[in-house]
């Protein structure tokens, strides 16, 4: 489902702490959409260099088919997420869950 590539995810920098492992973490926002038995996951977060935002979309039934879009600023990333969400809803998907959590930054 290439149309689903519009899904996205947002990562924001984690609060600074004295724990080196925590300093390498970023906040990831995740949206999970469902249509019948299929699930699409969108994540928005920072890239490993913390220089750009990435939206990752995990299409239903194809874990290897993850798509990633890169944005220079948070506003553009959130605008893209909004466009993806609108398209999914128009195609019959509904938001099942949203969460935001700290995730280890890629090395």
Residue 50, number of CB atoms within 10 A of its CB: 13
Q: What is the pTM of this model?
A: 0.70
pLDDT tens over the chain, length 107 residues: 333 333 333 333 333 444 454 456 777 899 999 999 999 999 999 888 888 999 999 988 887 889 999 999 999 999 999 999 999 999 999 999 999 887 765 54
Cα separation of 40 and 76, whole Å? 21
Token pair 């280890």 is found at 104
């Amino acid at each position: 489902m290439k149309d689903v590539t519009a899904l996205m995810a947002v990562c924001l920098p984690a609060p600074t702490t004295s724990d080196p492992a925590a300093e390498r973490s970023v906040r990831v926002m995740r949206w999970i959409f469902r249509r019948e038995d299929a699930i699409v996951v969108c994540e928005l977060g920072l890239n490993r260099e913390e220089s750009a935002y990435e939206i990752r979309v995990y299409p239903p039934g194809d874990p290897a088919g993850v798509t990633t879009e890169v944005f220079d600023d948070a506003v553009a990333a959130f605008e893209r997420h909004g466009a993806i969400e609108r398209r999914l809803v128009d195609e019959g998907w509904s938001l099942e869950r949203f969460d935001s959590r700290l995730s280890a930054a890629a090395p």
